[in-house]
């Protein structure tokens, strides 16, 4: 799968934050810069996330980049030999096997850029994101603006009454809130 002569200079970068904070926008920006530098890029997203597109990673601002929808992190191990940079969007929707896959790919010399929600709608750590943040070479936490008070938002407050952990949605279902406003809303 990979040449033994491959220079091992891999790294793991994590972009995390609440909904509407610009995580996907930042992921797309970094991947486009890598392509501009003539680096081969492979981009993955969960097949279950088809909100905007079946095959594209799309930001809330409608910027997009073509990706390969996958059902399991293990599918990333089929990445071609010439690839130097791997982008992963909506990482929180994958299971914890993503952590070992990311470590393996970085250990083989790849730059792995992961974007995802760090917390679920209840304010708890979400999926493999805490473990990915712990093993990352670099973590960038981006923030939305609280729709109630204008402070930096770190929570994705669910407006609907649905109880499932994963409920795909947009501004009709979620709003970004700061810690104080989130705590006030949760106490109601």
Does residue 180 fall inside a structural domain? Answer: no
Does residue 120 fall inside a structural domain? Answer: yes
The predicted pLDDT at position 55 comes to 59
Residue 172 CA to residue 98 CA, distance in Å, equals 29
The predicted pLDDT at position 1 comes to 43
pLDDT per residue rounded down to tens, the chain (188 residues): 444 554 557 999 999 999 999 999 999 999 999 999 999 999 999 988 766 555 566 555 656 677 889 999 999 998 888 999 999 999 999 999 999 999 999 999 999 999 999 999 999 999 999 999 999 999 999 999 999 999 999 999 999 787 777 766 666 789 999 999 999 999 87
Does residue 170 fall inside a structural domain? Answer: no
Q: Is 14 left (phi over 0), alpha (psi -120 to 50) or beta?
A: beta
Does residue 181 fall inside a structural domain? Answer: no
**Three-class SS state of 29:** helix
**CATH code of the domain covering residue 55:** 3.40.50.300
Does residue 30 fall inside a structural domain? Answer: yes
Does residue 128 fall inside a structural domain? Answer: yes
Does residue 163 fall inside a structural domain? Answer: no
The set of residues, in sequence order, having a beta carbon less than 8 Å from that of 144 and lying 6+ positions away, is 17, 18, 19, 20, 21, 22, 152, 153, 176
Q: Which domain holds residue 101?
A: 11-143
The predicted pLDDT at position 2 comes to 47
CA distances from 182 to 139, 149, 152, 156 (A): 23, 11, 12, 9
Q: Provide the domain count of the chain.
A: 1
The predicted pLDDT at position 169 comes to 60
* Catalytic residue set: 90
The predicted pLDDT at position 6 comes to 47
- Which tokens belong to 92? 């929180």
- Which tokens belong to 66? 């073509």
Contact 48, 93 (CB under 8 A): yes
């Amino acid at each position: 799968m990979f040449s033994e002569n491959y220079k091992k200079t891999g790294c793991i970068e994590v972009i995390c934050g609440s909904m509407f904070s610009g995580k996907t926008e930042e992921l797309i920006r970094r991947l486009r810069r890598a392509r501009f530098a003539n680096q081969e890029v492979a981009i993955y997203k969960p097949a279950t996330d088809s909100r905007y597109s079946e095959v594209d990673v799309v930001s809330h601002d409608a910027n997009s980049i073509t990706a390969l929808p996958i059902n399991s992190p293990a599918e990333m191990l089929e990445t071609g030999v010439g690839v130097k940079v791997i982008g992963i969007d909506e990482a929180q929707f994958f299971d914890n096997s993503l952590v070992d896959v990311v470590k393996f790919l970085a250990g083989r010399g790849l730059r792995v850029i992961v974007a995802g929600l760090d917390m679920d709608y209840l304010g708890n750590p979400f999926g493999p994101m805490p473990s990915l943040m712990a093993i990352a070479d670099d973590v960038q936490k981006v923030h939305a603006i609280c729709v109630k008070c204008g402070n930096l938002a770190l929570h994705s407050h669910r407006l609907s009454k649905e109880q499932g952990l994963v409920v795909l949605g947009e501004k009709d279902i979620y709003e970004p809130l700061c810690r104080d406003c989130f705590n006030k809303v949760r106490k109601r």
